[in-house]
Chains A and B, each alone.
Chain A
Amino acid sequence: GAGVSQSPSNKVTEKGKDVELRCDPISGHTALYWYRQSLGQGLEFLIYFQGNSAPDKSGLPSDRFSAERTGGSVSTLTIQRTQQEDSAVYLCASTPRRGNQPQHFGDGTRLSIL
């Protein structure tokens, strides 16, 4: 597709379950970013990938959060043992290369923890 694609668009799960969120960046984009947006808030950085490696994981809020990227393309963000405070919209963005340039965002996954 032409843009960043994220799936699922909505996810409702029970507290304590694991969830996996997927991001398909724009083809050829080497840099990939995950952000979290709580209701009525700005975006909070989670993790950055350059290719398959993640030089900055500093934004991951706890060790229940992990992410990987394989083949320099698709990335998955996994949240284990979900808590109610994990409820948010998880957004993914990509850029063609490292460096200052506009990040292109997907429409996010809205995660609701019951």
Chain B
Amino acid sequence: GESVGLHLPTLSVQEGDNSIINCAYSNSASDYFIWYKQESGKGPQFIIDIRSNMDKRQGQRVTVLLNKTVKHLSLQIAATQPGDSAVYFCAENEGPGGYNKLIFGAGTRLAVHP
């Protein structure tokens, strides 16, 4: 992902709506992708991951979609809650045979309004 400096892109949603956070990745050799949630003053918290042999994976209230053709990853959060407000990062590995060095995007801020 590209750096956007201090001005993170922000997605504002109403409580109860569904949220979709998008991420473009650059390395076509990447075979592992992961989403993290980061709250202020905390370390990143794992949400969900997906391997390149899949195009969709579901968790509790979250779904990750992978489109390898256009190198696009998305995180869908169902019935967004105020506690979902945070910065969300996508990350990819360097490719097969690696040791899971992660390359992070710049992040998207999710703001949930009551």
Contact = CB atoms under 8 A, between A and B. Distances in A.
Contacts of B101: 33, 45, 48, 56
Nearest to B45: A105
Size bin of chain A's contact surface: 20 to 34
A104 B91 CA distance: 14
A44 to B, nearest CB: 8
Contacts of B34: 102-103
A101 B100 contact: yes
Interface residues of B, number: 31
B14 to A, nearest CB: 25
28 contacts: A31-B100, A33-B101, A33-B102, A35-B104, A40-B6, A40-B7, A40-B8, A41-B3, A42-B3, A42-B107, A43-B44, A43-B91, A43-B104, A44-B104, A50-B99, A56-B99, A95-B100, A98-B99, A100-B100, A101-B49, A101-B100, A102-B49, A103-B34, A103-B46, A104-B46, A105-B43, A106-B43, A107-B41
Interface of A: 4, 31, 33, 35, 39-45, 48, 50, 55-56, 91, 93, 95, 98-108
